[in-house]
């Protein structure tokens, strides 16, 4: 039935299925005036295009910040909600910072944190936020000398020369940073000028029983009752400039724009837009790529992550110190685990792949229609198909080597940081200065290596990961480290026993599993110690092997990149009426749509909004995922909801919209037609977890925390009403 239905559908809908729907797309804000604005107005947007994105004076975009880690990698979105630099983001975005500031005596994860005055706010080391100053389409310059058939290396050379020049001249003489980003896998290029603030302080966070209510069970699911928000304040120098790090002299940042906060609430069908930093999508991925994810990539990652998570969870339940230390790593691994699992499941259960196949049939047909096209495009899909089938074997070997062995545990990763020093020590006489420098740097990292390090947990993880690798990889494909090292040096009665003896030796003798041993080594670094270290020997073999094997793997990936770029270029030639948007790549985007419910399955319709009653319904104080703080229950029983109720007199918690978002958008403001904050986007939904690969109007939703619940928690639950006094509340 299904196949028949599809073929009829395809005939009817050639050129229709893939027209961007009004709610589909993560659009570049500098282009919305030309591409989207008319459509946005029709849906209910009251702002002018200039009020949304302008490089002259202040606009909405000036309130939207990207959260970045120490390395400058963006991971979430935050927004200015007061003229004094107060910034909202999700609780799960602030989670790492909250965990880092927590200890068993000051456990902000469990109890929450509220700064009752500015001087109580807690600086977060290493956390940065950035604001886009302007965006420029530089495709013409970058691609000026590039041709369709040019070799990749020649193309690469031409492009990077132009890009470095553009990046340099764009910010000369300013404190701004600049990056040119590729769109459509190299079909277009955009220059982003931005500024980075390195003094960010925690101002408020609800307890996890609110901020993470529902835990991993409810994660990626609707109906939802999570108060997923936290509050930071951005600081600047007294002269008004961004600073690299905390300084007591810094003053609260004065944003060019802060978002008014609406208490007026939402109705189904209301216009909504979300401004933020979506991380990565693969919307132009072929059906072959989707099958590869469904059958090869995701199942492997899910299995390896699960092995780790089971052990971490048990150890975290047994000790508060371990729980606080591992909470952030656990949450992000568990989040990824559920996403990969759900993505593969939706690729199995929905028609997502069939939809892509339909488009590909159309493409193949189109490509043969004239000789020119045929020359350019007719071989691409067969090539992509073959590349994915070549990728399956190497993928399993590579991921098991990297995720299963090299990144198995905390200390395997610590060891990887010593490789530079190892090669310097091999020629110690000529590397004296470099060795001193490396050892000093590594000494400074001793804290990060060992402060929150629990060898008992780590040892169990390492043992189990090795066993999963050993059992799942056939003997002829298995890493040589077993035969050449482990089984030779650590002779047990069985191979499993040998592995155990090896792991015992690592934890008894290696410098990487003990702070004292590592310190002693760094005080007197010697090549011999490193060469004889069981951990170093083990990883050394694996790294060499991974390097050899990765050649094949990365070369297929490189070829795929080129073929996929050409496929997108072909699609854009074929579908002339369609307005294309580039895949998410951690740059500022806007998505617009409406408040919408959905039908997850036959006979079931989900409402667009949840209320506090749902929290009480889900309450289970014997389960840490569904524990409800007593204070919240008291307020509920007294119906002390203040002015935060909707027209039903009840307190809303979360709501759905059909905006198009992905990871990295977390914490993004969801705004009404006036540009007022109505909530914070924080999740996607289970029924369409393949949303990174294909949009669905019917099944894909964004889950937002209602800003009225956020305000209620701050005011009534935390008694931090002074924070609301800073905001512009629209009643």
Residues forming the site for ligand ARG (CB under 6 A): 92, 212, 215-216, 219-220, 331, 334-335, 663, 666, 683
Residues paired with 231 in a beta bridge: 88, 204
- To the nearest 10°, the Cα dihedral for 341, 342, 344, 350? 160
- What does the DSSP 8-state code read for residue 595? B
d(CA 178, CA 373): 37
d(CA 615, CA 308): 30
Query: How many Cβ atoms are within 10 Å of 148's Cβ, its own excluded?
Result: 9
CA angle at 682 for the pair 277 and 132, rounded to the nearest 5°: 20
Query: In this complex, which beta carbon is closest to ligand ARG, that of residue 63 or of residue 680?
Result: 680
Q: Is 216 a catalytic residue?
A: no
Strands 677-684, 702-706: pairing is antiparallel
Question: Residue 232 Cβ, how far from ligand ARG at the closest point, in Å?
Answer: 17
Rounded to the nearest 10 degrees, what angle do helices 380-399 and 298-318 cross at?
Answer: 30
Query: In this complex, which beta carbon is closest to ligand ARG, that of residue 36 or of residue 219?
Result: 219
d(CA 75, CA 67): 6
Query: In this complex, which beta carbon is closest to ligand ARG, that of residue 97 or of residue 334?
Result: 334
Question: Residue 412 Cβ, how far from ligand ARG at the closest point, in Å?
Answer: 24
d(CA 454, CA 109): 19
Which of 91, 92, 257, 676 is catalytic? The answer is 92
d(CA 728, CA 30): 27
Question: Residue 690 Cβ, how far from ligand ARG at the closest point, in Å?
Answer: 14
Question: Residue 677 Cβ, how far from ligand ARG at the closest point, in Å?
Answer: 19
Query: In this complex, which beta carbon is closest to ligand ARG, that of residue 92 or of residue 293?
Result: 92
Tokens coding 713: 């928690």
Output the CA–CA distances (angstroms, integers) from residue 335 to 122, 218, 225, 226, in the order listed.
27, 11, 17, 15
Which of 59, 286, 666, 668 is catalytic? The answer is 666
N- to C-terminal Cα separation, the chain: 53
Which of 228, 458, 646, 706 is catalytic? The answer is 228
User: Which residue blocks in 178-284 are alpha helix, DSSP H?
Assistant: 208-211, 215-218
Query: In this complex, which beta carbon is closest to ligand ARG, that of residue 334 or of residue 387?
Result: 334
DSSP of 45-94: --S-HHHHS-SSS--GGGGEEEEE-TTS-EEEEEEE-STT-EEEE-HHHH
Q: How many CA atoms lie within 13 A of 57 on its CB side?
A: 3
The residue with tokens 């020359």 is: 375
Query: In this complex, which beta carbon is closest to ligand ARG, that of residue 67 or of residue 466?
Result: 67
Query: In this complex, which beta carbon is closest to ligand ARG, that of residue 330 or of residue 606?
Result: 330
Question: Residue 126 Cβ, how far from ligand ARG at the closest point, in Å?
Answer: 20
Q: Is 666 a catalytic residue?
A: yes
Question: Residue 95 Cβ, how far from ligand ARG at the closest point, in Å?
Answer: 8
Question: Residue 212 Cβ, how far from ligand ARG at the closest point, in Å?
Answer: 5
Query: In this complex, which beta carbon is closest to ligand ARG, that of residue 469 or of residue 626?
Result: 626
Question: Residue 141 Cβ, how far from ligand ARG at the closest point, in Å?
Answer: 36
Strands 177-183, 261-262: pairing is unpaired
Give catalytic residues, as residue numbers: 92, 228, 666
């Amino acid at each position: 039935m299904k196949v028949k239905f599809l073929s009829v559908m395809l005939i009817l809908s050639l050129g229709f299925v893939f027209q961007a729907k009004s709610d589909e797309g993560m659009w570049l804000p500098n282009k919305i005036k030309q591409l989207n604005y008319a459509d946005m107005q029709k849906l209910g947007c009251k702002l002018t295009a200039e009020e949304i994105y302008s490089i002259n004076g202040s606009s909405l975009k000036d309130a939207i910040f990207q959260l970045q880690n120490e390395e400058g990698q963006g991971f979430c979105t935050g927004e200015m909600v007061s003229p004094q630099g107060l910034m909202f983001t999700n609780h799960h975005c602030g989670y790492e910072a909250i965990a880092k500031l927590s200890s068993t005596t000051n456990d902000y994860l469990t109890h929450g944190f509220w700064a009752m005055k500015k001087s109580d706010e807690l600086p977060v080391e290493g956390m940065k936020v950035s604001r886009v100053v302007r965006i420029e389409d530089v495709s013409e310059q970058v691609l000026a000398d590039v041709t369709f058939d040019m070799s990749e290396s020649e193309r690469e050379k031409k492009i990077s020369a132009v890009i470095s020049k553009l990046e340099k001249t764009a910010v000369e003489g300013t404190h701004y940073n600049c990056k040119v980003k590729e769109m459509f896998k190299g079909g277009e290029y955009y220059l982003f000028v931005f500024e980075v603030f390195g003094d960010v302080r925690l101002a408020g966070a609800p307890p996890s029983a609110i901020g993470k209510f529902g835990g991993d069970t409810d994660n990626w699911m609707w109906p939802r009752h999570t108060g997923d928000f936290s509050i930071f304040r951005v600081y600047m120098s007294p002269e008004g400039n961004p600073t690299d790090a905390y300084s007591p002299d810094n003053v609260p940042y004065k944003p060019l724009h802060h978002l008014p906060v609406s208490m007026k609430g939402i109705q189904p069908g209301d216009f909504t837009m979300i401004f933020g930093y979506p991380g990565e999508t693969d919307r132009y991925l072929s059906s072959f790529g989707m099958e590869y994810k469904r059958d090869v990539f995701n199942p492997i990652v899910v299995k390896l992550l699960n092995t780790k998570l089971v052990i971490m969870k048990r150890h975290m339940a047994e000790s508060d110190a371990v729980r606080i230390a591992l909470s952030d790593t656990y949450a992000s691994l568990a989040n990824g685990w559920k996403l990969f699992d759900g993505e593969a499941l939706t690729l199995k259960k929905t028609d997502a792949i069939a939809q892509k196949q339909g488009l590909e049939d159309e493409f193949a047909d189109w490509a043969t229609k004239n000789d020119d096209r045929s020359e350019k495009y007719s071989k691409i899909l067969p090539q992509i198909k073959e590349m994915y089938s070549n990728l399956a074997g190497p993928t399993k070997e590579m991921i098991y080597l990297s995720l299963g062995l090299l990144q198995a545990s905390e200390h395997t990763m610590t060891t990887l940081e010593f490789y530079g020093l190892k090669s310097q020590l091999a020629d110690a006489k000529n590397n004296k200065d470099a060795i001193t420098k490396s050892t000093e740097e590594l000494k400074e990292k001793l804290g990060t290596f060992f402060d929150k390090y629990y060898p008992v947990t780590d040892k169990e993880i390492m043992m189990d990961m090795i066993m999963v690798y050993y059992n799942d990889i056939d003997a002829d494909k298995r890493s040589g480290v077993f035969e050449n090292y482990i089984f030779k040096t650590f002779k047990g009665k069985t191979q499993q026993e040998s592995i155990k003896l090896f792991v015992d030796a690592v934890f008894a003798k290696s410098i990487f599993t003990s702070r004292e041993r590592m310190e002693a080594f760094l005080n007197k670094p010697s090549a011999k110690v490193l060469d004889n270290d069981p951990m170093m020997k083990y990883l050394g073999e694996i790294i060499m092997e991974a390097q050899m094997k990765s050649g094949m793997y990365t070369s297929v990936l490189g070829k795929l990149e080129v073929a996929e770029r050409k496929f997108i270029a072909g699609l854009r030639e074929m579908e002339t009426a369609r307005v294309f948007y580039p895949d998410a790549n951690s740059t500022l985007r806007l998505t617009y749509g409406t408040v919408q419910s959905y039908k997850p399955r036959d006979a079931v319709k989900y409402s667009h909004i949840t209320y506090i009653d749902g929290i009480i319904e889900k309450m289970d104080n014997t389960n840490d995922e569904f524990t409800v703080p007593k204070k919240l229950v008291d307020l509920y029983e007294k119906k002390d909801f203040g002015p935060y109720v909707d027209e039903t007199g009840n307190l809303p918690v979360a709501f759905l919209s059909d905006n198009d978002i992905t990871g990295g958008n977390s914490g993004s403001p969801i705004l009404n037609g006036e540009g007022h904050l109505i909530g914070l986007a924080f999740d996607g939904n289970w029924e369409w977890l393949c949303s990174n690969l294909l949009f669905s109007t019917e099944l894909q939703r964004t889950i937002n925390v209602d800003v009225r619940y956020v305000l209620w928690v701050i005011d009534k639950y935390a008694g931090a009403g002074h924070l609301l006094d800073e905001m512009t509340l629209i009643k």
